[in-house]
Structure 1
Amino acid sequence: MTITLNTPRLTLRRWREDDIEAMAAINSDPEVMRWIGDGSVRDRAQTAAGIAAWEEEWEERGIGLFAAELREEKQLVGFVGLMVPAYLPEVMPAVEIGWRLGRSYWGRGLATEGARAVLDFALRERDLARVVSVHHTGNTASERIMLKLGMRRERETVHPEFGIPLRVYVLETQS
């Protein structure tokens, strides 16, 4: 299944082998990973395994994380996409929208731009009536994106594995 979304500045596409190095560089930055899971960085092997899992998600569910590439420069900046948040059983069944960009791409509106395109894809192409997004309490940058997407805070909870406080946002379509 080949799906590509284009925004004014981004191409959101499936993953390629040559994306591993650029994504591994993003995943190895402690500041980028500060708000992900337990905050641990990931090496090249972990990144390659993650990309393989994301591709499997595409094949199995018809949703997944898009590689986010600057359209003009054709440079990978991170990912934006959809996943099933199985790590947080209390919100299931659900599809989560999420993003991770390299630090040099922060503050430019790229995550919001990509997330708007992915949210439109989720609602129109995948006919989802409910999309959640989860952030570590204190990650105000991600929280701002969720608010820009029109999401509302649904609950406060704790990451079941790491004990980290989380906020869950939701967008539900009118049925």
Structure 2
Amino acid sequence: MPDLLTDRLLLRPWRESDLEPWAAMNADPEVRAQLGELLTREQSDAVVAGMRADFDARGFGWWALQVRATGEFVGRAGLDVVGADLPYTGVDVGWRLRRSAWGNGYATEAALACLAFAFDELALEEVVASTTVRNVRSQAVMRRIGMTRDPADDFEDPSVPEGPLRACVLYRKQAR
């Protein structure tokens, strides 16, 4: 699992010390507002185990996100294969930050590093990103990193129960 460095961030493999702050993020109603139910510690730990296994199997996935100057764990960013239940295919770029890290440009900075890895190292032709219609903060990041949206690509996530989190938007970015 290669580390990715930006001016302010280190995207790195997951450590045992990340499990507690990751679980706290997943138990935070504001962090989970666009994601669905809160997760227990056990569920959060299982997510990390799955992310580690996916990275080992594919050579890419979700990195733990750390502020270089302080060593503070602030979330995750990375690339994931789009689930078979969704109406589009490809590799998705994404991020999730603890609330105290919001508004610092970390999501944009980490996403740009992930896109560079996707295009330069994995030689992907396209990367996608999706979020709920209501998640305007993530949509703003998608636009800042050069992704574009075609409303014809918007969809309802079949894995989400009826309600406000089911309606989603899809953004795309082509290789340079």
What TM-score do the two structures reach when normalised by structure 2? 0.93
2:14 counterpart SS class: coil
Structure 1 distance, partners of 2:84, 2:44, is 18
Residues 1:75 and 2:77 are matched in the alignment: no
1:16-165 paired onto structure 2 within 5 Å: 16-36=15-35, 39-86=36-83, 88-92=85-89, 94-154=90-150, 155-162=153-160, 163=162, 164-165=166-167
Q: Percent identity?
A: 37
Aligned length: 170
CA deviations 1:85-132 (Å, max 9, x no partner) are 20543212x100000000111011010011011110110011111100
> Residues of 2 paired with 1:173 and 1:67: CA distance?
24
Q: Give secondary structure in 2 for the equivalent of 1:30.
A: coil
CA distance in 1, matches of 2:40, 2:6: 30
Superposition RMSD on alpha carbons, in Å? 1.1
Match of 1:173 in 2: 175
- Residues in 2 aligned to 1:65 and 1:161: alpha-carbon distance in whole angstroms: 21
Q: Structure 2 counterpart of 1:168, which letter?
A: L
Contact 1:15 1:51 in 2 (8 A): yes
Unmatched tracts of structure 1, length 5 or more: none
TM-score by length of 1: 0.93
Secondary structure of residue in 1 paired with 2:31? helix
Gaps of 5+ in 2: none
Structure 1 residue ranges, 4+ long, deviating more than 2 angstroms after superposition: none
Structure 1 CA distance for aligned equivalents of residues 104 and 85 of structure 2: 30
Contact 2:85–2:159, Cα closer than 8 Å, also in 1: no
Q: Structure 1 88/136 Cα, relative in aligned 2: closer, same or farther at 3 Å?
A: farther
